[in-house]
Amino acid sequence: MINLKAGSPQVPLPEQWDSYKAGCKLVNPNNKRKLDIIVVGTGLAGASAAATLGQLGYNVKSFCYQDTPRRAHSIAAQGGINAAKNYQNDGDNVFRLFYDTIKGGDYRARESNVYRLASISPEIIDLCVAQGVPFAREYGGLLANRSFGGTQVSRTFYARGQTGQQLLIGAYSALSRQISEGTVKLYNRRDVLDIVIVDGKARGVIARNLVTGEIERHSAHAVVLATGGYGNVFFLSTNAMGSNVTPAWSAYKRGALFSNPCFTQIHPTCIPVHGEFQSKLTLMSESLRNDGRIWVPLDKADAEKLRKKEITPEQIHESKRDYYLERRYPAFGNLVPRDVASRAAKERCDAGYGVGSTGRAVFLDFSDAIKRLGREAIAARYGNLFQMYEQIVADDPYQTPMMIYPAVHYTMGGLWVDYELMTTVPGLYAIGECNFSDHGANRLGASALMQGLADGYFVLPYTISGYLSNEIHTPPIPTTLPEFHTAVQGVTDRLTRLKNTNGKQSVDHFHRNLGKIMWEYCGMARNEAGLQKALGLISDLKDEFSTGVRIPGGLKEYNPELEKAWRVQDFIELGDLMVRDALERKESCGGHFREEYQTPDGEALRNDEEFAFVSAWEYKGGTATPELHKEELEFNVVTPSQRSYK
């Protein structure tokens, strides 16, 4: 059993980060430019980290699979970014943001990391404004805020429904500035397929140039993974088509532990699935729940008629509607956290009250808000979201209620990291959604952007200097080392094997099947029997894939099917680990709902006695069963209690 130590400073929580900063070792400017750092991924975490490290004077190599850093999927975040600014004077402060995040995460996150996140949050807003991020403002010229799920204050900063885009453009422009100054070199259209470990330290990556198919070696003194989440394991998710687990998974296979893989967030407000051909799901921002009311018919007969399109939702009288979130959770109403809202929707649909042609949808109704505030005000707040909805569904949400259903959105699990955001492999860091650290078993809305930027702009630049201060005597790592050679060989062999499989089915066929297994047995609700069954199904799928996949095109050319095949193969292996993790965690918490463990009224039933730990899985090679390690969670400041939003 590996002894997992977070290594948080041994001082009271509010003093930890200052104490760390005061004591951490630095690297002098002359030495910084002799040190190479690889940053994989250019989302909020990756771009902000690469930009800041470049600005400090390190020699940074930034990788992304997209054609330009500005397209990373952080761009799709809609609602906003939290910060404990208390600009609204509504009782917010660092402690409350910390507390909300720990509670929202169902007491499965590490206190020290979350407190640091909350305390850094105000600085993020300052920096973003200085970069020219056009946040929403009041007429007085000061910044505006909105409220979000799981909190009772308005602390969310936003730029219409495109906050992620604006923040990413801010980080991308900072990155562009460093590229023009020569401190960052960009490697776009690259898939990072392996991490190179030399003498136990992360020293480089093997990348495939997606345009030429060339396998490239890149070395550095430290490697930072900012590769996002693994939601695409479900095939249908709100992630981008290219979002993948591959770099994180190769880190896992090279010795980094993978934590809490079963913690996935199912976002309550997505556009429902409507056909077999569908390739992805579209999120409708959580901010819609500020003004939209969620309901299903009170009568099953009405639901049936709606499904058959015999009546329209407007025809159902107010008294015949069940605003089930307001009914079950009067204190938070439609603004309960995501996991709670998602499960409640599933519960209603399972009970036969679902609407839409498939019966897997509920209404999100703006008619009251339009009556109260006027169409103009609603258009100003959500215009682009309404437009997007109308384009996809061909229904006008000003006229008729939206239909929504939960969908996979975010993954709280990820590579295990310590207080310094370093994985169990020295010199290998994981930041943003790629790590597990801040959101426990459920993430609150508008906190992902906060974490990505906190890690990249403000945390990693300090913590990595501690490690690099011991590397100033290490000359540039030659890519001719045998470890690079072996890694290249491994990558080339696997690519050749994939290419030569010559089976009958396309990659998508397997991905779709994997998604069905994961959604059915490891989705919003899980149970022992289903998870056991999933293990068998995934194992079968893995075998079928290895003999049945067909990849047209060559290795040394632009070949998107080959890219997908590699990613899906990793997803299948990850699926297995997720199921194992879900089986092991015999409790319900946050996004992980085990049907065997619930309160009489259907709420998640945590078991703090046995499961107040972070699971951390160790790869044991080949088909060997991975080994579970545990980081026990200590709650010194917050006392875990049953989460109640009633």
The residues that are catalytic are 338
User: Is residue 143 involved in binding another protein (CB under 8 A)?
Assistant: yes
Phi-psi region of 199 (alpha: psi -120 to 50; beta: other; left: phi over 0): left
Alpha carbons within 13 angstroms on the beta-carbon side of residue 560 total 4
User: Is residue 240 involved in binding another protein (CB under 8 A)?
Assistant: yes
Q: How far is the CB of 356 from another protein (least distance, A)?
A: 12
Q: Where are the beta strands (DSSP E) in 199-311?
A: 201-209, 215-219, 222-225, 258-259, 264-270, 293-297
Single residue of 121, 162, 264, 411 touching another protein by CB under 8 A: 162
- Per CB under 8 A, contacts with another protein among 190-219 are 211
Task: Give the DSSP letter string of 14-53.
Answer: GGHHHHHHHH-----HHHHTT-EEEEE--SHHHHHHHHHH
User: Is residue 177 involved in binding another protein (CB under 8 A)?
Assistant: yes
Single residue of 42, 52, 147, 290 touching another protein by CB under 8 A: 52
What's the rounded Cα separation, in Å, for the pair 519 and 578? 12
- Per CB under 8 A, contacts with another protein among 440-469 are 457-458, 461
36-40 and 59-63 strand pairing: parallel
User: Is residue 128 involved in binding another protein (CB under 8 A)?
Assistant: yes
Burial class of residue 30 in the structure, from the number of CB atoms within 10 Å of its CB (0-12 exposed, 13-18 middle, 19+ buried): exposed
User: Is residue 278 involved in binding another protein (CB under 8 A)?
Assistant: yes
Q: How far is the CB of 232 from another protein (least distance, A)?
A: 12
User: Is residue 135 involved in binding another protein (CB under 8 A)?
Assistant: yes
By three-state DSSP, how is residue 541 classified?
A: helix
Which lies closer to another protein via its Cβ, residue 21 or residue 485? 21
> What residues have CB less than 8 Å from 18, skipping those under 6 apart?
none
Which lies closer to another protein via its Cβ, residue 321 or residue 409? 409
Q: How far is the CB of 255 from another protein (least distance, A)?
A: 31
Q: How far is the CB of 522 from another protein (least distance, A)?
A: 24
Rg (C-alpha) for the chain, rounded Å, is 24
Which lies closer to another protein via its Cβ, residue 140 or residue 621? 140
Q: Interface with another protein by CB under 8 A: which range of 34-42, 136-144, 255-263, 629-637?
A: 136-144
For 507, the token pair is 């990659």
Which lies closer to another protein via its Cβ, residue 184 or residue 306? 184
**Can you list the alpha helix ranges (DSSP code H) found in 394-481?**
448-453, 460-468
What's the rounded Cα separation, in Å, for the pair 59 and 29? 11
Single residue of 93, 154, 188, 492 touching another protein by CB under 8 A: 188
Which lies closer to another protein via its Cβ, residue 192 or residue 589? 192
- Per CB under 8 A, contacts with another protein among 480-539 are 506, 508
Which lies closer to another protein via its Cβ, residue 128 or residue 257? 128
| Dihedral sign, Cα of residue 256, residue 260, residue 261, residue 263 | negative
- Per CB under 8 A, contacts with another protein among 11-40 are none
- Per CB under 8 A, contacts with another protein among 365-404 are 387-388, 391-392, 394
Single residue of 91, 140, 600, 622 touching another protein by CB under 8 A: 140
Q: How far is the CB of 393 from another protein (least distance, A)?
A: 8
627-632 and 613-618 strand pairing: antiparallel
Q: Interface with another protein by CB under 8 A: which range of 259-267, 307-315, 534-542, 555-563?
A: 555-563
Which lies closer to another protein via its Cβ, residue 54 or residue 268? 54
Q: Interface with another protein by CB under 8 A: which range of 165-173, 219-227, 341-349, 421-429?
A: 165-173
Which lies closer to another protein via its Cβ, residue 10 or residue 391? 391
User: Is residue 277 involved in binding another protein (CB under 8 A)?
Assistant: yes
Judged by CB under 8 A, the number of residues near another protein is 79
Q: How many CB atoms lie within 10 A of CB 518?
A: 26
- Per CB under 8 A, contacts with another protein among 558-617 are 558, 560-561
Length of the chain (residues): 646
Spell out, one character per residue from 55 to 94, where the chain touches another protein: x when CB under 8 A holds, - when not: x----------xxxxxxxx-xx--------x-x-------
Which lies closer to another protein via its Cβ, residue 322 or residue 561? 561
Which lies closer to another protein via its Cβ, residue 383 or residue 490? 383
Single residue of 96, 146, 155, 160 touching another protein by CB under 8 A: 160
For 263, the token pair is 């913690």
User: Is residue 127 involved in binding another protein (CB under 8 A)?
Assistant: yes
DSSP state of 107: T
Task: Give the DSSP letter string of 372-418.
Answer: HH-HHHHHHHHHHHHHHHHHHH---TTTS-EEEEEEEEEE--EE---
Q: How far is the CB of 69 from another protein (least distance, A)?
A: 8
Report the candidate in 640, 585, 588 with the shortest Cα–Cα distance to residue 614: 585
Q: Taking a C-beta distance cutoff of 8 angstroms, is the pair 281, 407 a contact? A: yes
User: Is residue 340 involved in binding another protein (CB under 8 A)?
Assistant: no
Q: Taking a C-beta distance cutoff of 8 angstroms, is the pair 170, 131 a contact? A: yes
Q: Taking a C-beta distance cutoff of 8 angstroms, is the pair 204, 80 a contact? A: no
Q: How far is the CB of 17 from another protein (least distance, A)?
A: 15
